Structure 1
Amino acid sequence: MSRKSTSRRELEKERRRETILEAATQLFAERGLENVTFGDIAKATGLSRPLVYFYFPDRETLFLETVVRSEQELHSRFVTAVKPHLDGHEQIVAIGRAYVAFLRERPCCFSLITAHGARKVTEACHEHPLQAQVEEVHKATMELMTRTLARGVGEGVLRKDLGDLLQVAVCLWGFTHGIVQIISHKGEQMREHIGLDPAATLETAFELMTRAIKNPKTAK
């Protein structure tokens, strides 16, 4: 078999795998893990159920693959947002806005990350090799935020009394995740029932978060 033929076959395999992952991401996000079968995925992709099993031996593996993929995409967006010409404060704000963009542009991926974070991890799940991969990507994201905070403190644009920067990074992540989730799910209800503009509320949240960490001496 020629190298060209082998390469074509490998590309086709990768294309099918990506097709399965994309369909599974949407179905898991819409219905939840327990309500999606390999038959559903086969129907959504136009592939046979045995072929889906060929790429992914069980539903847990497929689910974790979609979560890893989503976490990796989010991490890549954060890396891109941290532009070297920005100071540490501006970089942290850029990360937060990248999170908002991720929710708007990839809502299914956001939903999967949320679902995975909320699920009770059993011993069997914890021992799955892909679970460790999910945790490694998330750890890398927290380390990126911690380094960005450290840069801001060193530059004097962030407060020097922030304390443990990893704890600060986790808190910022939690605050941002929570507010974008609220705006996504309840934004129009907030507008209708209490007269709050979702976009303005999001800006208020960013202002509160950044004011809490910014060096007041540099505030404009």
Structure 2
Amino acid sequence: MEAPPSKPTADALPARERILNAAAQLYAVRGFEGTSMRDIAEAAGVTKPLIFYHFASKERLYASLLEEALAACRSGGEAILSEPMSATERLHRFLASHVQVLRERPAVFAFAHNLLTVAYELPLGFDYRAEGRALFDQIVRVVEEGQAQGEFRRADPEAVAVLALASLGMYAQALLIGEIAALPEALEEHLLDLLLHGIKEPAA
């Protein structure tokens, strides 16, 4: 009886990363239905059998990418929420952490923010809506905290969260399709300040 293939070694990890990165870029631009495994293989510089070695199906590849995308976006969020600071600083740091992910992995960030257009149709094997909602709720909690402390104006907290994530998502999409180059960190900081200024309670 032929022994099953061993688990991927550390030497195989770069190929897996190339597959995930290529899939993120293609899914974010073309969508799930518009992307084939052949497309991903060509973009990643690997063979289709190698993709199927790491991922049992196109859906499983999509699910793995989605899990990692949400984890990247949520990373550090709970730590920021637990630290003592003003709501304004907390929201600024929270969004700045997302900008860092965006800068380092624009395709993954754009993919995560486009997931709801397709993911509900796919048997992904995990509750992606709960994961996405947890990320969204982190921002809502900070906005509610700021409103309770008089730092933020009385707007719908969920509307503010939508605006914040949509702004970052559009920036990621523009980076991904080459409409703009990555902004210097000073300008990214300025964008965050503009967003925060729009929700702050006006001075009496």
Q: How many residues align?
A: 191
* Secondary structure, counterpart of 1:157 in structure 2: coil
Q: What is the CA–CA distance in structure 2 between the aligned matches of 1:166 and 1:30, rounded to whole Å? A: 28
> Where does 1:62-73 land on structure 2 (aligned, <5 Å)?
62-73=61-72
Distance 1:114-1:14 versus aligned 2 partners, 3 A rule: farther
Task: Please point out which of 13, 16, 22 is paired with 2:17.
Answer: 22
Q: Give yes or no for contact 1:25–1:112 (8 Å, CA) kept in 2.
A: no
Whole-angstrom CA distance in 2 between matches of 1:22 and 1:37: 17
Kindly provide the amino acid, as one letter, of the partner of residue 37 in structure 1.
R
Aligned-pair CA distance for 1:85: 2.0
Amino acid at match of 2:94: I
* Number of the residue aligned with 1:37: 38
2:94 and 2:104 map into 1 onto residues whose CA distance is 15
Contact 1:38–1:52 at 8 Å: present in 2 too? no
**Could you tell me which amino acid in structure 2 is paired with residue 128 of structure 1?**
P
Native 8 Å contact 1:179 1:202 kept in 2: no
Q: Match for residue 206 of structure 1? A: 192
Q: Which has the larger radius of gyration?
A: 1
Per residue, is there more helix in 1 or in 2?
1
Is residue 173 of structure 1 aligned with residue 165 of structure 2?
Answer: yes
Between 1:88-97 and 1:179-188, the stretch displaced more is 179-188
Matches within 5 A, 1:48-197: 49=49, 52-53=51-52, 55-82=54-81, 84-117=83-116, 120-121=117-118, 126-130=121-125, 133-159=127-153, 161-162=154-155, 164-182=156-174, 185-188=178-181
Letter of the structure 1 residue corresponding to residue 121 of structure 2: H
Give per-residue Cα distances to partners, 1:122-178, cap 9 Å, x unaligned: 8xx525144x5222211001111111111111222222x22x212221122112322
> Please, which runs of 5 or more residues in structure 1 have no aligned partner?
1-8, 190-196
**Which structure 2 segments of 5+ residues have no match?**
1-5
CA distance in 1, matches of 2:95, 2:127: 23
Q: Deviations over 1:82-132 (max 9, x none)?
A: 451221111111122112110112233224324535xx438xx525144x5
d(CA) in 2 for partners of 1:137, 1:17:
28
Which structure is richer in relative contact order (CA contacts within 8 A, separation 6 or more)? 2
User: TM-score, normalised on structure 1?
Assistant: 0.68
Q: Distance in 2 between matches of 1:89 and 1:183?
A: 27
Q: Structure 2-normalised TM-score? A: 0.72
Identity of aligned residues (%): 17
